[in-house]
Amino acid sequence: MVALGPGLTRPKGAHHVDAQAGMLLPGLHDHHVHLLSSAASLRSINVGPSEVRSLDDLRRVLREARAVRDGVWIRAIGYHESVAGPLDRDLLDQLLPSTPLRIQHRSGAMWFLNSLGLERSGLEHEAHPAVERDGQGRATGRLWRGDHMFAVDDGTDVDALGVLSDTAVRRGVTGFTDAMPNQTLAGLETLASAHRDGVIRQHLTLMSPLHVVAMTNSDVQVGPVKVLLDDDDLPEFDDLIQTIADAHLAGRAVAIHCVTELQTVYALSAIKDAGPNGGDRIEHGSVVPVELDALARACEVTVVTQPHFIEERGDEYLRDVPESLRDVLYRARTLLEAGIPLAGGTDAPFGSSDPWVAIAAATRRATRSGAVIGPLERLTPTRAIDLFTGDARQPGHRRRIEVGSRADLCLLSLNTEAALESLSSENVRATIIAGRVAFER
């Protein structure tokens, strides 16, 4: 940011956004998201007989998918004639004319394409026998055993990443920390090149195992070393300490997946023995008993939580989690009061990808059925927003809007008072990433 304040002169040619007294926030950072898994979940829709029962059903499902994917390929799988009889381009054009579409038959042997799909894939004019043609030589939209002919659109994953990025931009998100466990070099390269090519417009920080670091010329940040713990298969305690020490030696923090009390105790004890480096993270922190607060503080960890799980999964928790643990489920306010930094991540696709859903949930602590879990853990709207305004490396530290800081901003259409009353991504008016207007309405 170059200058801040009233009465500034606008440089010639500068883009002008009239904020109209709307609330201005640091751009939101999603501190825990799985981009490739989210992309894969967008990539295909299931139109098999168990999901879709009629032609009307098929039309509805395809149009819903179009609403999310907006102009990019729709790839559907699992189709069977019992749904709506045999398909061809004319029928598919009636269902979905303006989005390229391909539907795979459940047998895997056939694809059905609409006209735009035929055109985009180049199959319209392809003389290969796999492309079925009618008496006049017009492609019918049926492709028989022709999977290999889609080589060109195997970039669908990249399209899906673009959709994720665009959707997040509209919600004010200017940065992601990808938390993929067991990330591979290929996965890192895919994300880094999507970032370099401008498909992912947000700043990117990528977690990975200790020895998996992408060598790219993209300006993505190397994130913490992701460590998964599993109650039934915990690593040797000394091995965990060694992993943490090695990560620190390599200049990286650790981000340890902790969804049970046992995992939290194990992780914190190991960090303590390895020696804290100030940037280590407890992912989820689903169960952090109060007795562990002193240890967590000594370990200088940040807890990266998902407040919307209370809303999305709370009714299951009430059924499955022993009563004695309910008050320490996804703690928030009492962690902050104990001096433990707290930040938020959507954990998409396993939770809603909209950080505003998480923000609103953090203030309510209500399940879908309306039950409240841990009312003492409710955050004020301001504190809840701050879960997503932290620094990528120090997620619990709110970034400041000040001269010299990177111009990553989220402008709301409401003034502060109104915006804090109505926490929703619908209020995002403009998103600015590194000084460029990435979204405006």
Site residues (vs Zn ion, CB under 5 A): 179, 347
- Smallest gap from residue 179 Cβ to Zn ion (A): 5
Name the residue nearer to Zn ion (CB basis): 257 or 333.
Answer: 257
Phi then psi for 261, rounded to 5 degrees? -60, -40
- Smallest gap from residue 353 Cβ to Zn ion (A): 12
- Smallest gap from residue 207 Cβ to Zn ion (A): 10
Mapped onto helix, strand or coil, the DSSP state of residue 427 is helix
Name the residue nearer to Zn ion (CB basis): 286 or 427.
Answer: 286
- Smallest gap from residue 400 Cβ to Zn ion (A): 28
Structure tokens at 283: 């992912």
DSSP letter string over 35-79? HHHHHHHHHEEE-STTT--SHHHHHHHHHHHHHHHTTS-EEEEEE
Name the residue nearer to Zn ion (CB basis): 105 or 284.
Answer: 284
Smallest CA-to-CA distance from 178 within 158, 157, 204, 197 is with 204
Taking the C-alpha atoms of residue 64 and residue 42, their distance in angstroms, rounded to an integer, is 12
- Smallest gap from residue 334 Cβ to Zn ion (A): 23
Name the residue nearer to Zn ion (CB basis): 30 or 347.
Answer: 347
Taking the C-alpha atoms of residue 38 and residue 290, their distance in angstroms, rounded to an integer, is 33
Tell me which DSSP letter residue 201 carries.
-
- Smallest gap from residue 181 Cβ to Zn ion (A): 7
Name the residue nearer to Zn ion (CB basis): 74 or 179.
Answer: 179
Backbone φ/ψ region at 434: left (φ over 0), alpha (ψ -120 to 50), beta: left
* Virtual torsion, Cα 1, 380, 359, 412, nearest 10 deg: -40
Name the residue nearer to Zn ion (CB basis): 167 or 306.
Answer: 306
Name the residue nearer to Zn ion (CB basis): 153 or 347.
Answer: 347
* Virtual torsion, Cα 277, 279, 283, 288, nearest 10 deg: 60
CB 203 within 8 A of CB 196: no
- Smallest gap from residue 313 Cβ to Zn ion (A): 14
Smallest CA-to-CA distance from 393 within 306, 302, 330, 307 is with 302
- Smallest gap from residue 367 Cβ to Zn ion (A): 21
Taking the C-alpha atoms of residue 188 and residue 210, their distance in angstroms, rounded to an integer, is 13
Name the residue nearer to Zn ion (CB basis): 311 or 347.
Answer: 347
The residue whose Cβ lies closest to Zn ion is: 347
Q: Which residues contact 198 (CB under 8 A, 6 or more apart)?
A: none
